[in-house]
Structures are given as C-alpha cells and as structure tokens.
C-alpha cells in the first residue's frame, strides 16, 4: 500500500515558519531569517516553527495547517496509545525568540490551573541559547525569601525586577522554565523555545506598555520555588541530551555525513528536527520510499511516528537539534 492510500503512514515533511508580531521584537531578522518589516509595522518577536497555523511545505499534506494535520492524523503523527487528553492536538510549540526590548515579567499556569479557566493545558517551556551577546540575561524564578505579598507590592511600585533570579546567558545554555515560574527575557540572546502547545501568559509587570496585566491570575499561578534554571547537558559519544522534562526532550545530535533515524536512540513517536546551523536533507533509508525533504538552516522537518525508515544527510555544516514530545499519564500540575 502506498503512502498516498495508507492513512496510518506519513512521510517526513517540512514546515513553513510563521512570523509573529510582538512590540518587543525586532524589525530585521537577518541573518537568521530573510524577513524585514517595513516602517510602521509591528516588529517580529517570535518565529513559530510548529504552531497550529504553520503550513506543511512539502509532500502529500502540503498547504494544510499543522493543526489540521494533527486533528486528522493523530495516531499517524503521535503513535498509538497516546493519552486521551492530547489526542488530535499538537503537543509542542517550537519558536525562535528575538527580543530587542525586555519582555514582560510573567508567569504561565500549570495544566490544572489552565483547565480551571477553560484551557486544555498550561505551559512548561525551555530556552536553548542559539546566540548571546556579552550582557545577555534572563530571569528564571524568584530570589529566596520573596513572598507573594512582596510580589504584589513590587508590581504596584515598579520594583519587581529586584526580586527576580537573574541568569547570564551564553550560547549553548539550556534554561528550564516550568509552569508557575516568574520569568522574563531581556535583550541580547536568540533563543530556541520548546514548550507545551499553549500561549497562556499572565503578565505581572510590563514596563509601562499599554497592554493588559493579569496580576491576580499571575499570583494564583506563581510558585515561590520551582525547578527553573540552567540545565547541565548530558554528553554521549553521538549526541548531547540538553534536557529531558515531563513534556519534552531536546537533544543535539552529531551527524557526520549520514545518520539513520534508528540510530538516534529515541523512543518511538513524533520527532522534530531543527537545523540550528547549516542544512541537511531527510532521505528514505533501506527499502523505504518517499521523496527526500530538505532541512534548511533554521528550518524544521517533522518526522511522524508512522514514518517509513529515514536518514538525515549533512548537506553542509549541519548542527542538528532533535525535539520530541513526552506524555505524562494525565495532564499534570507542572514539570
């Protein structure tokens, strides 16, 4: 049976990025992406790599939105036996963040709090620093002894920054931000964000911008102590595990010439391949048959759980990041 007639088999496919406007973003994404905004337009802060609105760029599903693909091909994308609460939905959202100004000081709810307010899931995330200037920094969590009453008072008088746990950022850092963590991103770095597929954000403080704050919900969501912070990599001969969390794993994979998918030592299921530098190509391996798929610089190729055997070819200078969802038995309260 061919790929075209078997709904349970999906070949790898490239995803088109979507450029998301943010007032703290940058008008010129070069050399990362060939995208420049014109005068008067809101700058781009986030490049969504796997958003529900992103379009499939190659193969039999070309032109379909990623949200449609998951809704109509859930088992082929994710594999059998996935939890009921994720069926038919894309589990992860991957972004590249470009902050020219400070983001708001914010917090994301966990699954239980999100569901209390009618949303399917909360937002646990991580940031991998693709690049960083000398003064780059983020805030991840609160300093010891800070209280919720103190946070409310500092939000009111504009001094909340003094209670944040500030971390310097260098290229290659992995920073975990579990749901409930008060956090912020400041200018100077380009970050690859892996997160639950949710855009729920409760703003505590926004540096005077004319945007809505959500102080009461942010306080409700805040955990004074979380697991947030820098994660030390686990280095193996052929790969480096950057993080393994409840909801996702992120690895940097060595590719010298060609690497088969079966050699990546990963659990069965959906994988996203991101070219942090250089470029590659996904080709059929062994007796498998499908059209080769290009993996451009800073692009993403989805490898469905049902994909035929495949291999990745280093076309030139490929720095490969492999990202895969992980599923707790039920939607949980955090990482």
Handedness of CA 67, 70, 71, 73 (dihedral sign): positive
Q: Give every strand in the sheet of 174-177, ordered side by side.
A: 18-26, 44-48, 92-98, 189-196, 125-132, 174-177, 229-230
User: Phi first, then psi: what are they for 280, rounded to 5°?
Assistant: -145, -170
Q: What tokens appear for 112 in the block?
A: 């239980």
Closest CA to 187 of 139, 142, 143: 139
Q: How far apart are CA 181 and CA 124, in angstroms?
A: 9
Instruction: For residue 168, list its beta bridge partners.
Output: 137
Closest CA to 108 of 181, 186, 211, 193: 181
Which helix (H) or strand (E) segment holds residue 204: the answer is strand 202-205
Q: Which residues are catalytic?
A: 203
Q: In whole angstroms, how far apart are CA 97 and each of 8, 25, 43, 166, 322?
A: 34, 8, 12, 18, 18
Q: How far apart are CA 111 and CA 13, in angstroms?
A: 30
Tell me how crowded residue 188 is: count the other CB atoms within 10 A of its CB: 18
In sequence order, the 6+-apart residues with CB closer than 8 A to the CB of 266 are: 249, 251, 322, 324
Output Rg (C-alpha) for the chain, integer angstroms: 20
């Amino acid at each position: 049976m061919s790929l075209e007639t078997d709904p349970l088999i999906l070949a790898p496919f490239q995803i088109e990025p979507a450029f998301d406007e943010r007032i703290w973003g940058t008008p010129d994404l070069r050399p990362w992406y060939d995208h420049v905004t014109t005068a008067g337009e809101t700058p781009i802060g986030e490049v969504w790599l796997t958003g529900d609105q992103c379009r499939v760029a190659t193969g039999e599903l070309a032109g379909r939105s990623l949200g449609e693909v998951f809704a109509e091909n859930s088992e082929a994308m994710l594999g059998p036996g996935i939890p009921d609460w994720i069926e038919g939905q894309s589990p992860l959202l991957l972004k590249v963040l470009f902050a020219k100004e400070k983001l708001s000081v914010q917090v994301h709810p966990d699954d239980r709090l999100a569901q209390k307010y009618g949303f399917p899931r909360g937002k646990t995330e991580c940031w991998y620093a693709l690049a960083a200037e000398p003064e780059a920094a983020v805030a991840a969590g609160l300093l010891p002894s800070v209280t919720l009453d103190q946070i409310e008072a500092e939000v009111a008088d504009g001094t909340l920054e003094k209670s944040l746990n500030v971390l310097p950022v260098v290229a290659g850092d992995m920073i975990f931000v579990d749901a409930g963590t008060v956090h912020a991103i400041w200018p100077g770095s380009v970050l690859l964000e892996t997160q639950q597929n949710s855009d729920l954000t409760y703003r505590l403080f926004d540096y005077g911008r004319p945007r809505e704050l959500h102080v009461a919900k942010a306080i409700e969501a805040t955990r004074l102590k979380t697991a947030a912070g820098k994660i030390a990599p686990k280095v193996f001969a052929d790969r480096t595990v950057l993080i393994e969390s409840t909801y996702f794993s992120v690895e940097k994979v060595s590719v010298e010439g060609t690497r088969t998918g079966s050699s990546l030592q990963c659990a069965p299921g959906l994988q996203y391949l991101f070219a942090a530098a250089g470029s590659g190509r996904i080709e059929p391996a062994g007796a498998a048959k499908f059209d080769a798929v290009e993996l451009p610089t800073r692009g993403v190729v989805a490898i469905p759980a049902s994909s035929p055997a495949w291999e990745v070819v280093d076309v030139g200078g490929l720095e490969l990041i492999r990202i895969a969802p992980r599923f707790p038995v039920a939607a949980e309260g955090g990482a």
